[in-house]
Structure 1
Amino acid sequence: MNKILWFAFFCCSIGGILGCSPEKEIRTEIASGWQFRQKDSGEWLPATVPGTVHTDLMANGKIEDPFYRMNELGLQWIDKKDWEYKTVFFVDGNLIEKKNQRLIFKGLDTYADVYLNGEQLGSADNMFRTWVFDIAGKLKAGNNELRVVFASPTRRGLEEMKRYGLRLPADNDQSERGEMGKDRVSVYTRKAPYHYGWDWGPRLVTSGIWRPVQLEAWDGMKVEDVYIKQAEVSGKLAALSANVRVKADDVQNVEVEILNDGKILVAAKEKLKKGENDISVPFDIVNPRLWWSNGLGKQNLYTFTIRVKGDRGIIAEKEVTTGLRSLKLVRKKDQWGESFGFELNGIPVFAKGANVIPNDIFLPRVTPELYEKMIADAANANMNMLRIWGGGIYEDDVFFELCDRYGIMVWHDFMFACAMYPGNEEFLNNVRQEAIDNVVRLRNHPCIALWCGNNENALAWRHGSPGGWGWKQQFTKEQQDTVFKAYYDVFHDLLPRVVDEYMPGCDYWPSSPMAGPEPTQHGLDGTTSGDQHYWGVWHGFRPLESYDEVTTRFCSEYGFQSFPEMSTIQKYALPEDYDIDSDVMKSHQRSYIGNGRILDYMKMYYRVPEDFEQFIYMTHVLQGLSTKMAIEAHRRNMPYCMGSLVWQLNDCWSVASWSTTDYYHKWKTAHYMIRDCFKEVIVAPKWQNDSLLVYAVSDCLRPMNAELSIEVMDFSGKIICMEKSDVEIPANTSTVLAGTKCSSLLCGLTGADVLAVIRLTSEGQVVDEKNMYFEYHKDLNLPKDPGLSIRVQEEGKDKYILVTANELACNVMFALPGGMAFFSDNYIDILPGRTYKIKVKTELSLAEIERQIKYRYLR
C-alpha cells in the first residue's frame, strides 16, 4: 500500500499533487509504479519500494525462498549483477512553481546512480546515509521518470579492496559461501556487514531502495531540523535550548516560538540570512515530568512545536518529541578498579537487557508491528536496555520511538564489527557524514544512552600486546601501523568528535568490549574496569558455573545457543532433514562449533535424548539454564557489576542461534528465564562449596521487609525440612540473606531425590521463588511418569490452562499447533500438590485447546 506523508494543511494523491496551498510545504512519498530488471537485460518486472532485489525476484517467481532448506547457496549470483529500478510519477503546476524542490532517498543499498528524466542527479556509495538531490528546475509538469541503477556491491567491493592495497581482516565475511574465495570485501563498502554472513546469519548481499523516497517542495523558508538540547535536567528544573536549523530564500526578520500543548514557552526575534541559519533559543521547564526507564517510572514525553513567524503569520513549523532526563555513563575509581554503569536522573541503574541484530536479512520486510512485538517482548521480559550491535544497521525511526515509549535505554554501536577498516580520506569522509546523518536523526530520543565506536575490533587487534585473533601476524610492522592508524582515526578521533559536536553531553565508548579508552587498555576485556564480552561459556567451553567465577563490571555480551522450536524448523526443513548432522540443519547453524558445542554441554548437565524433537526441546532447556545462571551471577555481584546484556534477543532468519526469541519472535525458554531473573526483586540462590547461599537482589529504591523460606521436598511432594526467617532487603543492591549447610538440608537423604524451594514473601505476596537442585539434572532420579493433568477454563475473554502433577515434572513445555499460541508461563517445574494457572493467548476454542495441547518435560 502507498504511504503518503503530509506535513502541511493539504492532501495529496500518489498519482499527482492536488489542490496544494502555494504557501505550504509539499512532501510526498514516491512509492508506486516501480519496476526493476537486471541492468540492460530482460523484461521490466513489478517492484516494491522500499524493497530489495531478492524480495522482488521472489515476488515475481524468479527465485525460491532463500531461507528454505539450502536455497541460499544457489542465489549467490544475484550480488554479482547490476540492477536497475524505475518509476514514473506525476507532478502538477503547484509543485512546479515552488522555488525549492528536492528528492530525498532515506536509504540506497548501496552503490547507486540516480537519474531524473534521463539526467544523472548524482551517485550514492553508503547504505547508511540519507541522500538529498536538488532538483529545482529539473521537474516538468506531468509525468517524470525516476531511475536508479545499482552496481554489484561485491564487484565494487573487490575494486575498492584492490585500490586500497591491503587485505583487511573480516572473519565473519562468508566469502567462500559467496563464491568469492578468500576475497572478504565487506569492510571496503559502507553496507550492513551481516549481509555478507555471520555466525548466525546467511550470506545474502542485497541491493535496492531500502528506505522511502520522498519528493518535497517549498517556498520562502523551511525548518530543516530541531534539536532539543538538554544542558541540565533534574526533578526541579530542565534547562533546555531549541537548536533550530532554518533554510531561508531571502534575508528577513522573523519570530521563533517554542510551544508545548499549545502554550508558548518562549519567543525570540531573529534576523535570517539567505541560506542556512542556526538559531539557539534557550528555555526552562520547572518541575519537569521526567523520562524513566522500564521499571523505574513513567516514560513521560514532551512534544514541542517550533514556529517561525513573519509579517503574514506562520511561515514554517516543525514538531519534535523528546523526553527530559539526565542519562550518563558513570566511570569512577573505586575499591575494585573503575566503575562502569549508567545513571538515570541521578539513580544508578542496573542495565538489564539484550543485544539486538536486524530483524530480517531483507530489511524492508520489518514492519512497525514487528518492531513493536520486538520492543514489547523486551519490556515484558523486564528489560531496560538494548544494545544495537555494530554489524547491522542504524535502526528505523520507529524502533527508537518504541524504545522511548516502553522505557528501553539504547546502547548504540556505530556500524563496524569484528574487522579492521580502511583509513583513506575518501572512506573517512564517507564515515563522517554517515555518523552525522544518524546522530542528528536520533539525538532527540531520550532512550539513547551511549554511542559506541565498534564491536570487538579492539579486542581482535589488541594493539601493543600479543593475543587478539591473530590478525596482526599477517601484516608487516609498517602495515600494522597503517591498519591501526586507520582504526584510531575512526574510533578515537572522528566518531567521538561527531558525537561531541552534534549530541553534546552524550557519552561515547570507543569499542566494546574494552577495559578503557587509554592506549594501554586497548583490546583488553574489562574485569575490573570497562565492559566485557564473556564467552568462556560457549567458545571457551567452561562450565556454566564460571559465570560466578569471572568478575565483570558490565557484561555487554554473553550467551548460549539453541535451535528454534519445531514449528519454526518445519518451515525451512523436511522430515528427512531432522538430524543435526544433515546438510540442511548444518546450513541453518552458522557457528562452526555450534551443534557439537550444544551436544557437549548437554552431556555435562542433562541426559541426551535420541529423539530429534526431544533433543530440540532440550536445547531450549539448556539455553535457559545457562541464561539464568549468568543473569543471577551478574545481579548477585551488584554494584560491582552494573549491567547484563544477553546475546542475543532476535534472529534475522530461521536458524540455530543465541537468540532468546526466534525469527518469528516466539519466546524460547531463555526469554522466560530472562523475564523471571530481571524482575525488580529476585531471590538468587547459589551453591558455594558445601553450603547454599541465598541472595536477594533489588532494583527498588526503598528497602523491603520480607519472609524467606527454604523448603526441601522429595519428588513426590513430601516436605523433608523447612526453614523460615524474617529478612530486610536493602534498596538497589545485592545482599546475602542466608547460608545453610547442605547436610542440614538433606537430613540424611541423597541429593538425587530432593529439591529446595526458596521463596521470598512480602505483605502476603510471593515476591520470587526459585527451585534449587542438589545435583545436575542428569543425575536426578526423576519420575518416569509425573502424572501431568491439564484442564482448561475461560474467565471473561481470557483462556487458561490449569496444570497439576502427581510427582515432580521438570521444565514442562506447553505447545499448540503452529506455535503461534503464547503461554504466560512455560518451561516451568510443576511441583506436586500445586495447581498452576497459565494464561493462553490463542484463537483456538477451549475444546480445541484441550484436544490439541501438547507438552514435554525432562525424562
Structure 2
Amino acid sequence: MNVRNLIIVLTTIIFMSVLACDSKKSNKKIQTELDKDWFFRQSGATEWLSATVPGTVHTDLMAHGKIEDPFYRLNEHDVQWIDKADWEYKTTFTADEDLLARDKIELDFKGLDTYADVFVNGKQVLEADNMFREWTADMKDAIREGENELLIILRSPIVEGIKKYDAQGYEIPVSDNDLAEIGQVEDGKKVSVYTRKAGYHFGWDWGPRLVTSGIWRPVYIRAWDLAKIENLQIVQNDVTEELAAFTAVFEITALENQTATLFVKSDSLQLASSQVQLKAGTNKYSVDFQIENPKLWWTNGLGDPHLYNISANVKIEDLNLAETTRIGIRTLELVREEDEDGKSFYFKLNGHPVFMKGANYIPNDVFLPRVSDENYQKVVETARQSNCNMLRIWGGGIYENDIFYDLCDEAGILLWQDFMFACAMFPGDEAFLDNVKQEAVDNVKRLRNHPSIALWCGNNEILAAWKGWGWEKAERAKSEENADKIWQSYVDIFHKVLPDVVKEYDPQRSYWGSSPSSGLGIPADLVNGDEHYWGVWWGKEPFETYATHLARFMSEYGFQSFPEMASVEKYALPEDYDIFSEVMKSHQRSSIGNGTIEYYMNQEYNTPKDFESFLYVNHVLQAEGIKFGLEGHRRAMPYCMGSLYWQINDVWPVASWSSTDYYQKWKALQYYVKKGFEPVLVSPYIDGAKFRVGIVNDRLQPVNAELYLRLMDFDGQVIWEEASLVEIPANSSDDYFDVNRWEFTYRKSLQNLVFSAELRENGEIISKNNFYFRPYKELRVPTPKIEYALEKDDDGYTIDLKTDKLAKNIYLQIGNEEGFFSDNYFDLLPMESVGIHLKTNISEARLNEVLTIRTLESAF
C-alpha cells in the first residue's frame, strides 16, 4: 500500500471514530433534578440554613423553628415581615466532562415564585418575574468542570409591587380580597395586580395573607445534542365509530438542518411515521395517524373515561428522542344557540347534552409545595365519589400541577379552566401584556392534550366588578381618562391576548371571556350565559331562592360552615371556642361571615347548647341550604345546564364555603352533594301553591322505576301513601307528582310529618329524599332510640343502624381516629335500617370506645 492510500485509510478510520464518538455523545440526554443540598438565608444575613426545594421561605423558616405555624391561632399576623424581605437560595452541582460535552446545557425551572435573579458561578443567566411560567436558562457558557454554584435571589414581591404601584400614576381597582392592611403594606397599597403571582396569596375571603417566595416547582439540569422535542400536541380531526383521525404536531428545536424520521405509537402499536427535513431553530412538523374502533372518553357517571397512551419519537441517525402523552377520544362543544329564552350555554359530550354537576376548586394549601400526590388523589376521588362531572379551577389560584389533570382525566371529570385573573383590574403596559401572553402560551401548550380540559375562561368576576359592582362608575367619577385606560387594559388582556392564544394553540376548545357573563364584554343577565349567585349569603335572601334564581349555567353559589371540632382543635385552644373570639374571627375572612352564619341559623334552628353543637348544626345548615340549589338547578334542566357550588376544598383551616375542610374531612355538605348529584334524582319541592315531586335522569338511557311516596309521622305511622310505575326518558327532568299543597296538608299537623320519596329500579333504591314542611325549629322532633351492630370486613366495618322514631341528621364520629363513613348527617325514618360502611384500621374494641352517634335534637 502506497503512502497516499495509507493516509486515506488512516484519515477514514479517524473520521469514522469521530463520527462514532459523536453518535454516542448525541444519543445521551442528561436530565438531573436539583432537589438536594439547598441552603437559604435572608439577604444580608450571614447564616445559611438548610432548605427544601421545591419549597417556600415560610415552610423553610418553620422547619428551623424561626417562625411558628402561621395557621395556628393568630400567628399569621406575626409573619407579615417575610414578604418585605429578599431571600437567597443556593446549591452546588458537579459538571463532569460528559455533561460539558453536550451541545446545550440548560436550567429548567418549572416554577419560580416570583421575582428571581438566577446566577451560575456568579454569572446571571436568568431574570424571572412570573410564578405561572416555566423558565429555561442556557448556562453552557457559565459552568465549569467540577463543582458549580447555583444562586437564586428572590426579590420581595411587595417591594417590587410598590415600585410598580407608585409608577402607575393612578390606582387600579382591586377588591377587598387583597388584605393589604393585614399584610402591613405601606399606606395599605394593594399591589397584588402588578405581580403575576397567585392572587389568593395576598388574602381572600376564605384564606390568609401569606405572600410566599420560593422555588415552588422542581428545577432540572437538562443537557442535549442536536435537537429536542419542545412539545407534542395531539389534534383530533374527526371521530366516527369506526375511525378516529388525528394529527401529531411535533415542536422541535434543532441546532442545524438535518433529516429526521418521526414516529407515532399507541402503546406498542406503531400508527404512523414520516421523514422530514428539520430546520435549524424551533419549528413544527405534523404526522397524521388514525385509531380504529376508538373507545370514547366519557364523564363520570356516563361511561368509561378511556385513555390512550401516545408516544412520539424523533430519530436522527443514532439519536432517538421520545415524548409521551395521554389522550381521550371525545367530542366536546360549548353550545351557544338562540332559543325562546335567550342563548343556551351547555356542554355537548360525544353528541349528548350533559348537565354539569360539580364544584369550584381552589388550591389545596397556601404553601403549594406541601400539597402531596395523596392530597390531589383525595380531592379528585371526593369529586368522583360525589357524582361530580366538572370542577372549575378558579382564577385566583394557580394552573395546577400535572398530576391533578391526570387524575381528572382518569376520573372522567371535566375542568372549567380559568386563566389566573380574579376580582381586580390589571395593568396593560406592553411588558405586562407580553408576560401574560407567554404565561398563557406555556399553560395552554402544557394542558391542551388533557381530555378533561373543557373550557378556557379569561377571568373570575372582573367584568361583573367593572360593570355591576360600581367600579366603572367610581373610576369615571375620578377620571374619565384613567377609566378608559383601565378598561382598555381589560380589553387588551381578555378580548385580545388570551382568546388569541387559545385560537392559535388550542382552537378546538371554547374561550369564555369572564365568569359570570353573557358573552364577550356582556354582563350576566340570567338568560344568556353563566351566573354567580350570592343573594343567599351576601343578600341574606332565603335558601329557597337558590331554586328560583336560575341562569343557563350556575357557576358559583355557596354558604359557609366551620370545620368540624376535631379540625378546630388543630388550630385553636378551648378559650377560643366562640365564633366571635379573636381566633375564630381571624379564621373567618368574609366581612359578614360569622354573623351571617348566625343569622341564617336563627331562621331555621334554635340556639345550639355549646360550641361543638354549634359546629354540628352549622354543617347541617350549610348542607340543607345548598340542597335547594343542587336540586333546583337540576330540576330546571334543560334551561339550566350546570350547577357548580362554591367550593370543594380549603387552603387552610377556616370557616368557609367548603364542603371538605383543609384536612380533607367531609362536611355534611359533601354527603348531601353525593346524593344531590346522583345520576337519577327524586326531588320533592314546593312551587307556589303546588307540592311536586320531580325526577331528573342524567343517564343516556330511559329508566323504568317504581315511585314510592309516603306521608308519615315521626313515630312511623303512615298518614298517606302512593306507589306508581314511572318511565323516565333519557337525559330529562320532569314532575311526576303534582298536587295543591294546601289540600294535600289540610288539617294535618305539619310539625311532626315527613314526606318520603323513593325511586326503585329492579327493587333497588336508586334515589331517596325526605321533605319537611316546616323549619326544623318548628318541628316536634322526638328523642330516638338508635341501636347499632358492627360487622368487620376487609377495610373496616359495616355499622347497621335502626331507630324507633325519626332520627334527624345522624352524625357518626370516632373522635380523633382516622376513618371515613360512607354516609353521615342523614335522616333515618322509624322502623327503617341502614348499613353504613366505616373505612378504618382501628380495632373493634377501640371502635366501640370512640364511636358516638348524635342526632340533631341533642344539639339544643
Structure 2 vs 1, CA of residues 533 and 66 (structure 1 numbering), >3 Å: closer, same or farther?
same
Could you tell which deviates more after superposition, 195-204 or 701-710?
A: 701-710
* One-letter amino acid of the counterpart of residue 25, structure 1: K
- How far residue 446 of structure 1 moved from its aligned partner, in angstroms, is 0.7
Structure 2 vs 1, CA of residues 819 and 778 (structure 1 numbering), >3 Å: closer, same or farther?
farther
Whether contact under 8 Å (1:34, 1:48) holds in the other structure is: yes
Out of 189, 193, 216, the position equivalent to 1:187 is: 193
Out of 400, 414, 417, the position equivalent to 1:412 is: 417
Does 1:57 pair with 2:61?
yes
Could you tell which deviates more after superposition, 618-627 or 224-233?
A: 224-233
Whether contact under 8 Å (2:25, 2:102) holds in the other structure is: no
Q: Secondary structure at the match of 2:70?
A: coil
Does 1:176 pair with 2:181?
yes
Q: Secondary structure at the match of 2:249?
A: strand
* One-letter amino acid of the counterpart of residue 585, structure 1: M
Whether contact under 8 Å (2:796, 2:841) holds in the other structure is: no
What's the counterpart of residue 334 of structure 2? 329
* One-letter amino acid of the counterpart of residue 552, structure 2: R
Counterparts of 2:554 and 2:54, CA distance in 1: 37
- How far residue 135 of structure 1 moved from its aligned partner, in angstroms, is 1.2
| Same amino acid, percent of matched pairs | 49
What's the counterpart of residue 144 of structure 1? 148
Q: Secondary structure at the match of 1:209?
A: coil
Counterpart mapping for 1:589-608 below 5 A: 589-608=588-607
Counterparts of 2:656 and 2:274, CA distance in 1: 55
* One-letter amino acid of the counterpart of residue 78, structure 1: I
Whether contact under 8 Å (2:173, 2:471) holds in the other structure is: no
What's the counterpart of residue 362 of structure 2? 357
Whether contact under 8 Å (1:234, 1:326) holds in the other structure is: no
Out of 38, 42, 45, the position equivalent to 1:38 is: 42
Out of 490, 495, 498, the position equivalent to 1:492 is: 495
* One-letter amino acid of the counterpart of residue 481, structure 1: D
Counterparts of 2:322 and 2:579, CA distance in 1: 59
Does 1:268 pair with 2:271?
no
Whether contact under 8 Å (1:815, 1:821) holds in the other structure is: no
- How far residue 404 of structure 1 moved from its aligned partner, in angstroms, is 0.5
Does 1:504 pair with 2:504?
no
What's the counterpart of residue 702 of structure 2? 703
Does 1:847 pair with 2:845?
yes
Counterparts of 1:39 and 1:204, CA distance in 2: 19
- How far residue 816 of structure 1 moved from its aligned partner, in angstroms, is 0.7
- How far residue 239 of structure 1 moved from its aligned partner, in angstroms, is 2.1
What's the counterpart of residue 302 of structure 1? 308
Structure 2 vs 1, CA of residues 78 and 310 (structure 1 numbering), >3 Å: closer, same or farther?
closer
Whether contact under 8 Å (2:233, 2:249) holds in the other structure is: yes
Could you tell which deviates more after superposition, 244-253 or 692-701?
A: 244-253
Out of 467, 477, 480, the position equivalent to 1:477 is: 480
Whether contact under 8 Å (2:795, 2:841) holds in the other structure is: no
Deviations 1:746-793 (A, max 9, x none): 47321001111111112111111101111111100011x211222222
Could you tell which deviates more after superposition, 674-683 or 249-258?
A: 249-258
What's the counterpart of residue 11 of structure 2? none
Unpaired runs of 5+ residues, structure 2, are 1-23
- How far residue 745 of structure 1 moved from its aligned partner, in angstroms, is 4.5
Whether contact under 8 Å (1:234, 1:325) holds in the other structure is: no
Unpaired runs of 5+ residues, structure 1, are 1-19
What's the counterpart of residue 692 of structure 1? 691
Out of 809, 825, 830, the position equivalent to 2:807 is: 809
Could you tell which deviates more after superposition, 146-155 or 544-553?
A: 544-553
- How far residue 235 of structure 1 moved from its aligned partner, in angstroms, is 3.2
- How far residue 182 of structure 1 moved from its aligned partner, in angstroms, is 2.5
Counterparts of 1:466 and 1:569, CA distance in 2: 34
Does 1:254 pair with 2:260?
yes
- How far residue 473 of structure 1 moved from its aligned partner, in angstroms, is 5.1
Could you tell which deviates more after superposition, 213-222 or 467-476?
A: 467-476
Counterparts of 2:162 and 2:469, CA distance in 1: 30
Whether contact under 8 Å (1:712, 1:745) holds in the other structure is: no
What's the counterpart of residue 293 of structure 1? 299
Structure 2 vs 1, CA of residues 748 and 573 (structure 1 numbering), >3 Å: closer, same or farther?
same
Counterparts of 1:669 and 1:727, CA distance in 2: 31
- How far residue 799 of structure 1 moved from its aligned partner, in angstroms, is 0.6
Counterpart mapping for 1:627-642 below 5 A: 627-642=626-641
TM-score, normalised via structure 1 length:
0.95
* One-letter amino acid of the counterpart of residue 450, structure 1: L
- How far residue 549 of structure 1 moved from its aligned partner, in angstroms, is 2.0
- How far residue 820 of structure 1 moved from its aligned partner, in angstroms, is 2.9
Structure 2 vs 1, CA of residues 585 and 185 (structure 1 numbering), >3 Å: closer, same or farther?
same
- How far residue 21 of structure 1 moved from its aligned partner, in angstroms, is 6.7
* One-letter amino acid of the counterpart of residue 837, structure 2: K
What's the counterpart of residue 727 of structure 1? 726
What's the counterpart of residue 12 of structure 2? none
Whether contact under 8 Å (2:653, 2:661) holds in the other structure is: yes
Whether contact under 8 Å (1:303, 1:319) holds in the other structure is: yes
* One-letter amino acid of the counterpart of residue 740, structure 2: K
Whether contact under 8 Å (1:459, 1:468) holds in the other structure is: no
Q: Secondary structure at the match of 2:465?
A: helix
What's the counterpart of residue 580 of structure 2? 581
Whether contact under 8 Å (1:712, 1:746) holds in the other structure is: no
What's the counterpart of residue 793 of structure 1? 791
- How far residue 395 of structure 1 moved from its aligned partner, in angstroms, is 0.5
Deviations 1:111-164 (A, max 9, x none): 110000111112111111111001123222221110000111101100011112
Whether contact under 8 Å (2:695, 2:734) holds in the other structure is: yes
Q: Secondary structure at the match of 1:264?
A: strand
* One-letter amino acid of the counterpart of residue 203, structure 1: R
Counterparts of 1:275 and 1:740, CA distance in 2: 73
- How far residue 168 of structure 1 moved from its aligned partner, in angstroms, is 1.0
Counterparts of 1:420 and 1:48, CA distance in 2: 35
Counterparts of 1:175 and 1:797, CA distance in 2: 48
What's the counterpart of residue 406 of structure 2? 401
Counterparts of 1:623 and 1:40, CA distance in 2: 50
Whether contact under 8 Å (2:559, 2:625) holds in the other structure is: yes
- How far residue 493 of structure 1 moved from its aligned partner, in angstroms, is 0.5
Does 1:345 pair with 2:350?
yes
Structure 2 vs 1, CA of residues 466 and 578 (structure 1 numbering), >3 Å: closer, same or farther?
closer
Q: Secondary structure at the match of 2:365?
A: coil
Deviations 1:84-103 (A, max 9, x none): 00001122221111111110
* One-letter amino acid of the counterpart of residue 322, structure 2: E
Q: Secondary structure at the match of 2:188?
A: coil
Deviations 1:324-366 (A, max 9, x none): 1111111111111110011111111111110011100000000
Whether contact under 8 Å (2:396, 2:460) holds in the other structure is: yes
Counterparts of 1:629 and 1:468, CA distance in 2: 32
Whether contact under 8 Å (2:796, 2:840) holds in the other structure is: no
Structure 2 vs 1, CA of residues 374 and 474 (structure 1 numbering), >3 Å: closer, same or farther?
farther
- How far residue 263 of structure 1 moved from its aligned partner, in angstroms, is 1.9
Deviations 1:245-291 (A, max 9, x none): 11222221121111112222111111112222210112222321111
Counterpart mapping for 1:73-112 below 5 A: 73-112=77-116
What's the counterpart of residue 823 of structure 1? 821
Whether contact under 8 Å (2:472, 2:483) holds in the other structure is: no
Could you tell which deviates more after superposition, 386-395 or 685-694?
A: 685-694
Counterparts of 1:425 and 1:797, CA distance in 2: 58
What's the counterpart of residue 162 of structure 1? 166
Whether contact under 8 Å (1:352, 1:645) holds in the other structure is: yes
Out of 123, 132, 136, the position equivalent to 1:128 is: 132
What's the counterpart of residue 9 of structure 2? none
Deviations 1:207-263 (A, max 9, x none): 010000010111122112110011233433322101101122222112111111222
Counterpart mapping for 1:362-373 below 5 A: 362-373=367-378
Q: What RMSD, in angstroms, separates the aligned Cα atoms of the two structures?
A: 1.5
* One-letter amino acid of the counterpart of residue 204, structure 2: W
Could you tell which deviates more after superposition, 786-795 or 169-178?
A: 786-795
What's the counterpart of residue 47 of structure 1? 51
Whether contact under 8 Å (2:241, 2:294) holds in the other structure is: yes
* One-letter amino acid of the counterpart of residue 501, structure 1: E
* One-letter amino acid of the counterpart of residue 87, structure 1: T
Equivalent pairs counted in the alignment come to: 832
Does 1:215 pair with 2:214?
no
